[in-house]
A = this chain, B = another copy of it.
Amino acid sequence: MLYYTKTAPMGWNSWDCWGAAVNEDTVRKNAEFIAQNLKQYGYEYVVVDIQWSAPGAKNHEYEPYCELAMDEYSRLIPAENRFPSSAGGKGFEPLAEYIHSLGLKFGIHIMRGIPRQAVQRNTPIYGSDRTARDIVKTDSICAWNTDMYGIDPTKDGAKAYYDSIIRLYAKWGVDFIKCDDIAREFPQCEDELKLISRAVDNCPIEMVLSLSPGPAPLEKAELFKQTANMWRITDDFWDKWELLYAMFERAEKWSIHTGAGRWPDADMLPVGAIRQDYDPNGFTNFTQDEQITMMTLWSIFRSPLFIGGDLTKCDEFTKKLLTNTEILKMHSNARNAHQVWRRNIDGNEFILWKAGCSEGGEYAAIFNCGGTESKIGIELRDLELPEGSICCELWSGLKAPIKDKINVRVAPHGAKAFRLS
């Protein structure tokens, strides 16, 4: 069943730090860190990203046309050399069990479709007398990964196939599915998405369904709201200012579709120790101010919050960034957020967002997209608030009554967040 999440899901995902090469040991250590340090702040999902069935995966590059671990029913299973607890056909069940024992939830990545090697060998489909070649859509492949062929939803056996993989994941104890090669593949994958969503919804276990990669088409917003919990609004997001800057426009467009268990997703947070598969000293290129900007935007917009860095190397700044309780309260309580304006002030572009607060009052956030520190006076009337409103800046905790303008200095690529009452 599609799980209703009152707030946007939070957790950790292996992609930014380990690419296709994540292994069981890393997952366990990150889960342990979360249980000890982040669980109380709301982080709960631990997600194993792409190609966990490829024995030879080494880094972020997908190995093309490689032999994948697969069961007799055309279903991919974990590569035992990378996930030892899966040996003997146990799949992800032992790992999920361990993560559940930490009070956390377990997620996996999947690709839309059926393994090409299953089609080559024409292997059976569980719960059907059809075989792999019967359900394949011959002209449907992923543009950037060679593992799968797409499924033809009109074919007998197609539904059985998707039901069979979701059933397997439910048996393993999977709480979260990140389904890839689907969120921007429209209109050609609309019916395939519906089939996957229905398979999840008909499964007795509650699961979050997350769609990748973006940008998901805005005009399909209602479809995403009906078929998934979260969907990517961008292509892969990385630690570059240009990508962060571009997110403001994406978030603006999607803002009216956020909330009530349905979450447009600005992608993982590339913070801390990322790209570990290439460099053990790999670290985010974002400045601290940029990270504050990112965390502020993701929170007022209520994007899902998935940490991308390897937490076993988590430094103090990153931990503080991720655990500011006022910011995380905004992530829970903001309502009807949207951009108020974009303006050039003294040569820097500023962006103002506001939102209601479910506990009364309003939130606001100001972003300085320019390259120099700059002063700005935010007029209360642009927030439709009366004179004398009390304003608390969430990153510093400073609080004061305001006459007509909130006067602040904002660092280059930095942000301030406010609670107003």
Contact = CB atoms under 8 A, between A and B. Distances in A.
Contacts of A120: 65, 116-117, 120
B340 A337 contact: no
Contact of A65 (B65, B119, B255): B119
Interface string A329-347: 0000001111111100000
A340 to B, nearest CB: 7
Interface in A52-97: 64-65
A61 to B, nearest CB: 12
A355 B338 CA distance: 12
A154 interface: no
A341 B260 CA distance: 11
Nearest to A333: B384
A236 interface: no
Contact of A335 (B119, B141, B384): B384
A356 interface: yes
A381 B340 CA distance: 26
Give the one of A119, A133, A335, A337 with max B CB within 10 A. Answer: A335
A65 B122 CA distance: 9
Copies of this chain present: 4
A378 to B, nearest CB: 11
A138 B147 CA distance: 10
A398 interface: no
18 contacts: A4-B381, A64-B136, A65-B119, A65-B122, A120-B120, A139-B141, A139-B144, A222-B341, A222-B342, A252-B256, A256-B339, A259-B384, A260-B383, A335-B336, A335-B384, A336-B338, A356-B356, A356-B362
Contacts of A337: 336
Give the one of A117, A136, A138, A142 with max B CB within 10 A. Answer: A138
Contacts of A222: 341-342
Interface of A: 4, 6, 64-65, 116-117, 119-120, 122, 133, 136, 138-139, 141-146, 222, 225, 252, 255-256, 259-261, 335-342, 354-356, 358, 360, 362, 381-384
A356 B335 contact: yes
Give the one of A120, A336, A337, A362 with max B CB within 10 A. Answer: A336
A65 B256 CA distance: 45
A339 B258 CA distance: 11
